[in-house]
Amino acid sequence: MTTTDPYATTRDTTEGKVFTVTGQDWDSVVSGLGDEPEERIVVNMGPQHPSTHGVLRLILEIEGETVTEARCGIGYLHTGIEKNMEFRSWTQGVTFCTRMDYLSPFYNETAYCLAVERLLGIEDQIPEKANVMRVLLMELNRISSHLVCIATGGMEIGALTVMTIGFREREMTLDLFELITGLRMNHAFIRPGGVAQDLPPGALDKIRDYITWMNKHLPEYAELCNANPIFKHRLEKVGYLDLSGCMALGISGPPLRATGYGLDLRKTQPYCGYETYDFDVPTWDTADSYGRFRVRLQEMWESLKIVEQCADRLAKMEGEPVMVADKKIGWPSQLAVGNDGMGNSLDHIKHIMGESMEALIHHFKLVTEGFRVPAGQAYVAVESPRGELGCHLVSDGGTKPYRAHFRDPSFANLQAMPILCEGAQVADVIVAVASLDPVMGGVDR
Amino acid sequence: MSDTQPENLPATSAAGDAQTPGAEVVDQRQGMFGVRGTGDTSGFGGLRRQVALPGGTPKPYGGWFDGATERLEGLLGTDGDGAIEKVVVDRGELTLHIKREQLVEVAQHLRDDEALRFEFCSGVSGVHYPNETGRELHAVYHLLSITHNRRIRLEVSCPDADPHIPSVVSVYPANDWHERETWDFFGIIFDGHPALTRIQMPDDWPGHPQRKDYPLGGIDVEYKGAVIPPPDTRRSYN
């Protein structure tokens, strides 16, 4: 133990003594407090702390081990995505919004594209295959997102095996994303009017392999956790928030469904054809962290059911269009996945460069200038893994969004952090925050 | 520039091309290609077009829109005359433009009345229309009725010179952070908010970044001798 650690200094401020604690240096804090230590200690947890899920800063006022007041400090990951989207074309907007909630990029893209399509008035013209592919990608994404939540949540309470197997299965999901979209994240694959390209050859076989693999390995989570006494001790009755609390604070997603109320936009306000799929909305009635874990676990099974139905439908849809027929909106080229990511289709380049001047002009105009969207506003919400993800778009009739705003469920749900944590132990704060599953990319945008 | 000299401007720019009666004109668009500052001699640079959002919709609105609006008007009573400035039905969505003084009352009725029951507020989104004089700043609320499975939009405006809108946190506590975000990004002061502080930007940040008069920022990118300007100064189309 060194007393001259440059990173763990002590200084006096008007509010009291401030210590920088980097771990294992509690002795210097205790000795620094003097003979009459203050009762009340304010602890800054984060923004750089592995168990705060990104750059979330928790400001905890503690007495002994008990948290008496808790507040969030956010904004450390604010990247101005909404502002940036106002300076790019409608299609380029997808590239920005996919980066918000980086664990569920397809939901960001879908919410945005559905809003653009409502503004364009082409909601009914989206090809069936594009809708099935959107649902497929979204449900795969729900699995990968819940896996990260369960894996990191497990790691934080010492369940390391849950973490290792969680990331193992997530990797399988990301491999599928890479095969279908060319990228593991930040896909920009779902576009206004449809999706960027058709399913590559062999993708359906890989999806079936994936379903087999998940059917074999998903039960492992239940076996490791569901009745594990340590796991249950850490999660049960921690982070309690009942239905009236959820309603008042605008909480949606698994925290709401863990109170026993099965609100799911896929059922109540279906989009992308969700009403034609057979799936259940899992609920739990304990309204605590354990309930949220069980809801997520069960939702992965339901998502797998939907993925299976999507695969069956896609098998019968070979060669069908994936982009709206309107040539003034649909992206002019079919892209191809090369060995270094997404690339242009050689057939398309041959066509525009060698065969048709009009096709070249059309391609150039649509890609550089984009399409115009009639003036007005739209709000579309989808059920993301974290709850209601809404997209409010305003168009002034130009080629760029006049205003894009996202109601991110992480942002809204994180407001419940104080009510979940106050009065509990410091160690429970970690569990309670993890049970909300906030993703700071979505919170700060 | 040739296209901005007075003799080249159209005779009347105000008269004329409003698309629909009652449409809300928020801006005027110049030129055809959205490019400014180039020596455009085509004559298209003199084009003036109005940017208009969908205007008020006459009754009947269709579906449940009529019943809900009438119910709300009834609840507001004679005191609430003019609380609903305008009703817009567009793309299957119902928008009520509410006078800012009556926003909290309207929200309270929308939440509590059993025929309306909009329990869930998805937050507030600011929109800045710098050329809509007297109504520059808009706050847009999206409400969801879980009971009746409906959505409604409330739109409230305030002038840039007096950017005050009452807070609805007393009705929808969920709007706490959303209103802080809108204050942070647009400078709308939500009166009655328990702690209206910045939330995304640092506490000492000057300005409100998502307003239209706040620049995007950015620097030139140079690659192999070619210089690409930042997106807000790049040639673009409107």
A202 located within any domain:
yes
**Residue A377 pLDDT:** 92
pLDDT for the residue A4 = 58
pLDDT on residue A119: 93
Residue pair B27/B51 in contact (Cβ under 8 Å)? The answer is: yes
**Reported confidence tier of residue A208, pLDDT bands at 50, 70, 90:** very high
In-domain check, residue A376: yes
Q: Taking 70 as the threshold, does the pLDDT of residue A265 lie above it?
A: yes
pLDDT band at A2 (very low <50, low <70, confident <90, very high): very low
Q: Are A350 and A419 members of one domain? A: no
Give CA–CA dist A360/A344, Å, rounded.
Answer: 14
Domain that holds residue A335: 331-370
CA dihedral sign of residues B72, B77, B79, B81: positive
A360 with A421, same domain: the answer is no
Question: Does residue A124 have a pLDDT over 60?
Answer: yes
Average pLDDT over residues A265-282: 92
- Give the span between the Cα atoms of A39 and A116, in whole angstroms: 55
Would the CB atoms of B34 and A415 count as touching at under 8 Å? no
Given an 8 Å threshold on Cβ–Cβ distance, is B236 in contact with A400? yes
Give B 198-217 residues with CB within 8 A of chain A.
Answer: 198-202, 209-210, 216
Same domain, A355 and A434: no
CATH number at residue A397: 1.10.645.10
Q: Is residue A70 part of a domain?
A: no
Shared-domain flag, residues A273 and A344: no
Q: Do the beta carbons of residue A395 and residue A86 sit within 8 Å?
A: no
Both A376 and A366 in a single domain? Answer: no
Q: What is the pLDDT of residue A379?
A: 94
Q: Which two tokens stand for residue B186?
A: 């647009």
Q: What is the CATH number of domain B24-28+52-233?
A: 3.30.460.80
Does any domain span residue A48?
no
Mean pLDDT along residues A334-362 = 78
Q: Which residues pair with A62 in a beta bridge?
A: A41, A67
Q: Is B235 in the A-facing interface, judged by CB distances under 8 Å?
A: no
Report the C-alpha gap between B146 and A114 in whole angstroms: 21
Number of structural domains, chain A?
A: 2
Closest partner residue to A405 among B26, B91, B125, by Cβ? B125
| Residue with the two structure tokens 């909106």 | A329
Q: Do A276 and A425 belong to one domain? A: yes
Confidence of residue B54 (pLDDT cuts 50, 70, 90): confident
How far is residue A140 from each of residues A104, A168, A169, B92, B226, measured CA to CA in Å? 10, 14, 11, 30, 42
Q: Which residues of B touch A268 (CB under 8 A)?
A: 146, 149
Q: Is residue A7 part of a domain?
A: no
The pTM of this model reads: 0.88
Asked if residue A364 and residue A293 are part of one domain, the reply reads: no
Instruction: For A82-100, write each residue's pLDDT tens digit.
Output: 999 998 889 999 999 999 9
Interface contacts (A, B; CB < 8 Å): 129
Give the residue from A255, A252, A280, A256 showing the smallest Cα distance to A267.
A280
Task: Find residues 173-192 of chain B whose CB sits inside 8 Å of chain A.
Answer: 173-178, 181
Q: How far apart are CA A228 and CA A290, in angstroms?
A: 11
Q: How far is A405 from chain B (nearest CA, A)?
A: 6
Work out the pLDDT band at B51, boundaries 50, 70, 90: confident
Q: Is the peptide bond before A192 cis (omega within 30 degrees of 0)?
A: no
Mean pLDDT score of chain A, rounded to an integer? 87
pLDDT band at B47 (very low <50, low <70, confident <90, very high): confident
Is the pLDDT assigned to residue B11 strictly greater than 70?
no
Tell me the average pLDDT across A6-24: 69
Is A434 in a helix, a strand, or coil? helix
pLDDT at B12 exceeding the cut of 60: no
Cβ of B142 within 8 Å of Cβ of A84? The answer is no
Q: Does B163 touch chain A (CB under 8 A)?
A: no
Which two structure tokens, joined as six digits, stand for B175? 């709007």
Residue B237 banded pLDDT, cuts 50, 70, 90 = confident
Nearest residue of B to residue A249 by CA position?
B174
Q: What is the mean pLDDT of residues B95-104?
A: 90
- Verify that A244 and A357 share a domain, yes or no: no
* Confidence (pLDDT) at A85: 92
Residues A428 and A382 in one domain: yes
Q: Give domain status of residue A344, yes or no.
A: yes
State the best of A59, A71, A83, A399 to mutate against chain B, taking most chain B CBs within 10 Å: A83
Q: With bands split at pLDDT 50, 70 and 90, how would you rate the model's confidence at A9?
A: low
Q: Smallest CA–CA separation between B7 and chain A, in Å? A: 27
Tell me, yes or no, whether A202 and A347 share the same domain. no
**A216 lies in some domain:** yes
Are A218 and A336 contained in the same domain? Answer: no
User: A46-81, pLDDT tens digit by residue?
Assistant: 777 766 677 888 888 888 788 898 998 898 889 999
Residues A424 and A376 in one domain: yes
Q: What is the mean pLDDT of chain B?
A: 83
